[in-house]
Amino acid sequence: MPEETLSITDNRTATSYTIPIEHGAIRAMDLRQIKTSPEDFGLMTYDPAFMNTACCQSRITYIDGDKGILLYRGYPIEQLAEHCTYLEVAYLLLYGELPTAAQLEEWAQAITHHTMLHENTKRIIEAFRHDAHPMGVLASAVAALSTFYPEAKNVHDPAVRRLQILRLLGKIPTIAAYAYRHSLGYPYVYPDNDLSYTENFMNMLWRMAEPKFQPNRTLARALDVLFILHADHEQNCSTNAMRSIGSSLADPYLTMAGAIAALSGPLHGGANEAVLRMLNEIGSKDNIPAFIKKVKAGECKLMGFGHRVYKNYDPRARIIKQIAEEVFEVTGRNPLIDIARELEKIALEDEYFVKRKLYPNVDFYSGIIYQAMGFRPEMFTVLFAIGRTAGWLAQWQEMLEDPAQKIARPRQLYLGHARRDFVPMEQRAVAELVR
């Protein structure tokens, strides 16, 4: 058996070090012993955007980006999408095992009991302008929940934590639906606890004057599967924000508001909205070659393509493509799907995309389905956030229970001025400013 160590020779001092390798990684702190003198701080690694740095040990989600594999707690995403409900998957992510029938019933009931919002939260949502972006509304309303549940700050108490997890899973669809109704000027619809998690969400979105909302089963199942596909994705930008903010022991509402903010960006969850705008801009298949030319010239990006980890087809995109056909049987075909499919075909044959291993990601087809269901593009990332809530909470909980974790506090390489003395106003010259 070869030794699981790394030998390093520091050519500055001609000193050699042996560093243990565990799980295919070395500990960055083991590099600190590499010094040129006793006063030297010690060697650090420089890794902008965490391209090659593991910030935690996790047992939740596994991705093999080269093979296009995604597992939640060891179960392939394809099997979970086929057989589970979103709440079953949320349980799996949070507790590590699939629930029994009795556990699932108790879990679903517990979450259902927390779907109501305090009326003041409703008023907070009412205060936004009619054209407020729902991601801003969502982040603000989730942050505001912190003020309603001050006990939530006891993050080390497992019972308190569980209650906030139930509240967040229960209330996030209600906030999302209220944000949606607010943008349309419609009255808010209170939760209907006879319905399943996703059906109730549809009820809060779309019920009008009818006494009881009758959800379309195919659309409810499609939306539920979309929530499953978005439920977790290991250490992505928003999950990293969740862990990083949570490491200060901030309460889960304020912490998750930060994760929602991170998700909103167009390089992350906001890409689904950007894809739809891009497809609308392209407008017809005939315009695709000219658009691809612009992408290759670096003038814009092919939104919904590429991924930091997947260098193969994103398995979630494959499932979403299948769901699209089922949804279109109910809603009618969204013509943008034909532009998307042609764009994908051309891109996957083009050397630019092949060489860079750029494949469709989860956001490439999801917006087309959401639009067919009747959502406006501004809501797409909100739908992503509903699904991701389970993953954020599972990762937050794992971080809090991990004895190796402390407050997140990266290092920097300081390249600025050395110490210098204050210059009085009258002696200052116009200098070139740094940005």
Binding site for ligand CMC (CB under 6 A): 236, 267-269, 271, 295, 301-308, 356, 358, 361-363
Question: What count of other Cβ atoms lies within 10 Å of the Cβ of residue 162?
Answer: 13
Task: Give min distance, CB of 239 to ligand CMC, in A.
Answer: 10
User: Distances from the Cα of 287 to the Cαs of 139, 293, 395, in angstroms?
Assistant: 37, 10, 42
* CB of 281 vs ligand CMC, minimal distance in Å: 15
- Torsion sign across C-alpha atoms 54, 51, 49, 259: negative
Catalytic residue among 268, 338, 350, 402: 268
Kindly name the residue from 133, 182, 233, 307 that is annotated as catalytic. 307
| Nearest approach, Cβ of residue 168 and ligand CMC (Å) | 20
What are the CA-CA distances from residue 66 to residues 28, 70, 71, 310, 315 (Å)? 25, 11, 14, 6, 11
- Closer of 268 and 333 to ligand CMC (Cβ): 268
Cβ at position 265, least distance to ligand CMC in Å: 9
Is 363 a known active-site residue? yes
Nearest residue (CB) to ligand CMC, 171 versus 307: 307
CA distance 183 to 134: 8
Comparing every residue's Cβ against ligand CMC, the nearest one is 306
Least distance (Å) between residue 336 CB and ligand CMC:
16
CA distances (Å), origin 414, targets 46, 55, 417, 418: 11, 22, 9, 10
- What distance, in Å, lies between the first and last C-alpha atoms of the chain? 53
Nearest residue (CB) to ligand CMC, 339 versus 358: 358
Residues 6+ apart with CB under 8 A from 227: 86, 89, 198, 383, 386, 387
φ, ψ dihedrals at 72, nearest 5°? -100, 120
Which lies closer to ligand CMC via its Cβ, residue 361 or residue 371?
361
Residue 23 annotated in active site = no
Q: Which CB atom, from 308 or from 318, has the smaller least distance to ligand CMC?
A: 308
307 is catalytic: yes
Length of the chain: 435
Catalytic residues: 268, 307, 363
